[in-house]
Structure 1
Amino acid sequence: MGNEGDSSRPSNSSVILQNIQDAPFPIGVILNDTNYPSWSQLMEMRIGARSKLGFLTDISAKPTTNEKAIETFITDNNRVKSWLVDSMNPTLMRRFIRLQTAAEIWKAVKKTFYDGSDKTRLFELNRRSFNTRQSGRSLPTYYNQLVSIFQKIDARLTPKEDTMESTVASSKTLSRFRVHIFLAGLNQEFN
């Protein structure tokens, strides 16, 4: 009964969050000249899981008055900067390491690798989906290759529909179109 109101003990959720923040930062993808979309999504998820996403978006601005808050900001900013540069190949690391804040690094990397439209890459992915064939491979291998291409396409598409109904209708049309691509690429024995 006495422990119910004991605020000196951390809650389970704060212990879990503390464990996530203190855990070594996993680097599964190293940024190079070709993998920005995967790298940025992975970094955003991992940094967000550590409650530091504001350092990428500039929401966590450097305080100006409280000395302890300034020190904490500098420490956290350096931590996020290190996560970013440690996940880059050495050539890219040298290019971005001197920037002052994690947000500056994040913006500079985005400006370098993503023009906001990505039309050329989207065209290439669509072409690959149209030209992908089973070619004697197992059905799951063929299917997984197409799904991987479709996921890359989806990551680049921006929804233009303004209503739920138009979004659902567009999604159904796209799904039906992708089934046609899949069927067109099957081995002749499935005709």
Structure 2
Amino acid sequence: MAGDQSQSSNQTIDITSPYFLTSADHPGQNFVGDNLLKDGNYSDWKAEMTNALFTKNKFCFVDGTLPIPDEGSNDRVIWQRCNAMVRSWLVSSMNKELKNIVKYATTARAIWDDLKERFDKENAPRAYELRRTITSVHQEIMTVSAYYTKLRGIWDEIQSVSPSPSCTCNRCTCNVGKSLTDMRDKEKLYDFLMGLNEEYSGIRSQILSISPLPSLVAAFHMVNVESSAFQVSGKKQQGKSWATNRRDDRSNEECAYCKKPGHTMEGCFELIGYPDWWTKKAKGSKNQTNRFKDQHKTAAVHDHKHTANLSREDIEHLLQLIKESKAKDTKPIANTTGLTLEEPDWDG
């Protein structure tokens, strides 16, 4: 018996074997950091510990797929050594209260099963709280990526607290498992779209009009591209779109000439003439604008003929009235706009 133990301890173990231990492996290793197992965080702890055990190729010691070898087997001592190592890793990842509960367990699988029996149950109050949280989460000041990441964290916790049912008979032919997964993914898509800010209403309608609906990841990329376009064009993502804010700013302006809102005298087409690209009113108003200019020109010539009988004091008085009229942005009068002769012309 002693010879078998000596032989088993001296034999070379392949690095792919679950019995292989590196020189860095020791009983006090902690694979979960500050996330020590306590009442309320079993789902997170289990996910981190499962990942660590798979990485070390030691998960078979807790799920029962590698049972203890029979008495007299060359692998029995090696199994016991690895089992003790895995057991110590589990204990090192718990808080002090839970360590006292499992300290008498002899195998890593016994500890794993005991923790599962204690904590791995559906938590209805927590599931309810998470569902209420998911309906109240909105993007607000978050970026699209940050908002999506926050939702993913809540969805993952919901899955751990209330996992989706799956087929266990291995004889299912109707793919009900895939249908349930697709249904839950569709619910996640609705959650994501409902919480987006209002400036994404256009892309949201576009996504919902696609048949069949795109996947959650595809929808996220579509919205993220829209967000990048907003940033490139300088549009602000603050409740209303840039175009809406611009229209609101201009709606408070009023032209002093035509008394219409949305522009000032400097941009009034009725005063300065309609441009060629203004197709809606170019034809109907072009002649009107030309007639308006002809009337002013005729009035100017008419007034010029009568100014010869005016004294210098009368001309200066008229010029002063014109300046005051322009300062008040009053509507120009046809019989005064023609008085635009400069003073040197009146001296000669």
> Which TM-score bucket, shorter chain as reference?
0.7 to 0.9
1:142 equivalent to 2:147? Answer yes
> What is the match of residue 252 of structure 2?
none
Cα RMSD after superposing both structures: 3.0
Structure 2 CA distance for aligned equivalents of residues 131 and 183 of structure 1: 12
TM norm structure 1: 0.76
Contact 1:17-1:50 at 8 Å conserved across structures: no
Q: Report deviation, 1:176.
A: 2.5
Contact 1:31-1:87 at 8 Å conserved across structures: yes
Contact 2:139-2:147 at 8 Å conserved across structures: yes
> What is the match of residue 31 of structure 2?
27
1:175 equivalent to 2:180? Answer no
Alignment of 1:67-146 (within 5 A): 68-115=74-121, 117-146=122-151
> What is the match of residue 47 of structure 1?
53
> What is the match of residue 207 of structure 2?
none
Q: 1:173 to 1:67 in 2, by over 3 A?
A: closer
Structure 2 CA distance for aligned equivalents of residues 98 and 178 of structure 1: 44
Contact 2:69-2:76 at 8 Å conserved across structures: yes
1:190 equivalent to 2:200? Answer yes
1:157 equivalent to 2:161? Answer no
How many residues are paired up?
A: 178
Letter of the aligned partner of 1:153 in structure 2? I
Q: 1:141 to 1:99 in 2, by over 3 A?
A: same
Bigger Rg, structure 1 or 2: 2
Which ranges of structure 1 fall in alignment gaps of 5 or more residues?
1-9
Structure 2 CA distance for aligned equivalents of residues 33 and 113 of structure 1: 8
1:19-65 CA-to-partner distances (Å, cap 9, x unmatched) read x8424455134212222112112222322333322321234333442
Q: Report deviation, 1:119.
A: 3.8
Structure 2 CA distance for aligned equivalents of residues 165 and 67 of structure 1: 44
Letter of the aligned partner of 1:30 in structure 2? L
Q: 1:189 to 1:142 in 2, by over 3 A?
A: same
TM norm structure 2: 0.45
1:64-119 CA-to-partner distances (Å, cap 9, x unmatched) read 4217543223211110101101111222222212211111111111112112x344
Greater relative contact order, per chain length (Cα 8 Å cut-off, separation 6+): 1
Structure 1 CA distance for aligned equivalents of residues 152 and 79 of structure 2: 41
Identity %: 24
